[in-house]
Chains A and B, each alone.
Chain A
């Protein structure tokens, strides 16, 4: 307990530096902005802004990038409620009751509950990271190479099984990602692998071109394909930002339940913010005395998912910070950012980069506080931003991508590579291949190969090492059963059903 307070104190000292406060605010506001704008999500934004953060120190960079992720959860709720337009996938369910409330002239209440719920959830999740991370990283310090390999495999399997879309295609994308991670010089033998004679590929496929292309450019192409979405304006009902006690009595338990569900599901790979929001909404509907109210403006239908998505956005950092294992695209991008800053992700981050870890945790809480205070009065301004035509927005994004991809290594080749991955990403999405597992595989691939090599070297090539060690055995068992469950048609049908509901 005393140690926790000491650590948090350390975090406050780091997070309260003028620079880090500014990064936190910038990240949170940028996150809100992209949360409001449909067709520009936190993943694309983080991918596009990665190079900009390279000139910052790693702590500031991570504080800002994290702010974009949870800030987007706030922003997504604004358009979901006012315009029936989910700015983010995680606020899709918020449209159901949030927009119904807005049509009844109670938009102020919905916005208020969303903001307060997000704040409560964010504060709890930050505290949960502070409490849960140190023991987890202690456990991880004792991992053998075989344990690590099996854990990473489990992470990849869970991420494909729990994410939406076809499991088989997810597995294929993961394999391609791992393969792309191996391109370039092999560390052990020095051999060049799959460089196609291109000298720029000797250092491997760049993380920034890959992420920017798959998430940024492909997204622009898809948005342009769809054309400008029609928008229903409903900003009139935001005049009153207050709420009666009776509504609060319904909302507060829902906020707490949503926080719990979201925190739990956020830790799982493949989850993050989206799954928590859906699960929390379903839970509220199931335990309500009168489920018919849902869809017609039940305040719990806003409170629970909005709390859950924010909690999940933050607890998703737990496996990333303690084990070095990303559970979704956003945390994979963060791992990429850490690596480029020369920090090896894993259990040692907490001890060797204590400033970064505790500063990040405290800044999450501060960022949530900033969002609560700043955002509600700014709702009208955010909504007005939707009037900016996309034809002004996307050339600016292209510019950021070009300069960003180039400036990592001053390599023009990386700009061309970005375009290549953009086209690839567009067609992959078109044929139902999700890019997220590919990026996870790409990030984990090199380390997995290394651990596999070491584990088998120690066991003299005997694969039994993976089932002899208890931790490794457990990880593999869970991974195998999850994969089997997802591929067996009967259970796969169940999964599909829950995703649709």
Chain B
């Protein structure tokens, strides 16, 4: 990978979602959503339950195809998603994608090998160090607290050093210490030039973290704000249709 985000023959410097809709039968989970995120940006998808946040993440993860519209990853179109493209996307879902019967080390080594790490065991060792769980690496994941599992899951999502990290409710069930570690890790990823897109309800935790917030309701994008401050009051204003607080740049 090059410093400008170039990877394996294509430039992965931004994600562009252009007029994307996704229907499940007659239900419109996502309707005509447009936004983009560039390298070194953290973008938040905010909205109530059923707003379409998880569906959007699934579309970005190439697990779903848009009913209409296009998603582009740098110079690549999502409709041509292949192993090369998927190798640059990391996902931390609401479910943690970990095998509870395996140890943290085994989980990380398995996913490292699956994502093509040359030395999966070394990658797992480094990931455990980053998660601060080197001394618990040989314990099965089912014996971990939610916060510890979340830290392992985040390292699992990052083990292949993705250009795009997708996070669905990453703060759920975390104590203050684990939350602080996660926030620091996300800021670190931004500095390293990754694109981070997260869907969350935890507005207080996301406050000051996001470079751009996309407000969704009923699958539609109803507002965007660059570098939003006072996220909770902005959210309330946007969702109730009142004017956003002063200082919030909306579109």
Are A and B part of the same complex?
no
Residues of A whose CB lies within 8 Å of any CB of B are: none
Residues of B whose CB lies within 8 Å of any CB of A are: none
